[in-house]
Chain A
Amino acid sequence: MSAHAMESVLHDLGVKREARTAFGEDAPAFLKRYGVDAAEAEMISSFDIAKLLKAGVSPLLTYGFWMMNAPVKTRAAYLERSRETA
């Protein structure tokens, strides 16, 4: 698919409580609704911020996604993940 589809996922996970609940309960089933491919689904499920940014997803969305959904919702943890190299 494209960064656009991932942006759609991340936007919903930022602004819709029901999306966050569904993602938390069964991420693969939730992500299937958006038509993202396996590699993209993995980037999102694993909160791989560095890869998401490299794929062209808006940093405004990756940050909001992290702060609303990640296990550790801090800026420091986000930055650490965003600075990882493959």
Chain B
Amino acid sequence: MKRFGMVLALVSSLAASSPALAALQVDVNQGNIQPLPIAIPDFVAASPADVAAGQNIANVVRADLERSGLFKPLDPKSYIEKVTNINVVPNFANWRIITAQGLVTGTAAAQPDGRLRVDFRLWDVYGESQMLGLQYFTLPANWRRIAHMISDAIYQRITGEKGYFDTRVVFISESGPPLSRKKRLAVMDEDGANPIFLTGGNYLVLTPRFNPTAQMIAYMSYITGKPAVYLFDLEGGRQEKLGDFPNMTFSPRFSPDGNKVVMSLEQGGNSDIYVMDLRTRSAKRLTFDPAIDTSPSYSPDGSQITFESDRSGSQQVYVMNADGSNQHRISFGQGRNGTPVWSPRGDLIAFSKQAEGFHIWVMRPDGSGERALSNGWEDEGPTWAPNGRVLMFTRTIQGGRGSQIWSVDVTGRNERRVATPGDASDPAWSPLIQ
């Protein structure tokens, strides 16, 4: 009875407190995750000579945004209005009818000095206002990069997240029969365009990684027969062995400031993690465990390093301070967990989990919130887009039918294959190109 009284008191106190609730209020805690319908007509050509550029740029922007899974570029055939002048406010009703919520209008105009000028505006079709307007000058040959920059600008304005379209991916291109597989270092634009082979395939190369300016690649090479970490300068095309270690070095990765490379050094069957300062070329040992410690990756602020170790008896993910102190295990889920990579956003660590198959997972840096992102036959070796929103990884096809590069959104949605020339593995995503 006492309790009943208490409940009654609660009810009446609630009732008394609800005058403020009189106005209608709707708590919307569920939604329908769907890509934003956006219209991107071909960019208006200032002269007949600019028609191709205008079409090409619009094509690349449409493809970029579509690939992200967050936009649905509408079929240009459905457009009612033909944009002829981007400096006039569009007739928004004509775009609402075809369900567009965003509209991108742009122009391409060759300049007397030989450069190409590209302008674009992003419109909020419902709000009937301009959300963004930008202008670029470039050499006509660079039109593709301009298109990616426009995609990045639109992506950032709509999602709040920096874009990742003006980036490159370094990877291992694979060709030839399984027993004499040719593995070449290759680099391409994020959308698969402009693939270039950096090494010839006479020796094995593995685990390439970009530095923060995307000008240099650290990777492991068997060029001398003995595997070691090398640096490849994309500008000059030079490669250089990193440090003069008597034993095998592998699994390199740059620090966020680009001044250091952290990697594994093998000695008598034991691998430990070392960091090498690129300016002084001095190396410092960070782990001293008799187990195999490898696959180090810096946190975006450079203060911590995540790595894998089998010191507990099976391969697991650990975190330590950048000076090697405070080493502690963070993965306690099922299976073996390795190749951790810290998100550029800092909020997550992606890793490969082996438990009923190989899949890409993420967890918070404290080890909580483990969840799966990919669901292939054998998925390994994640790499983050510079915005920490998308990952690429290697997918090995069941039955030894080669390997491919796939990408997936950090939400686990939008899993899709990345275009590569032939088989490919071990992707590493560059930072945004500067």
A binds B: no
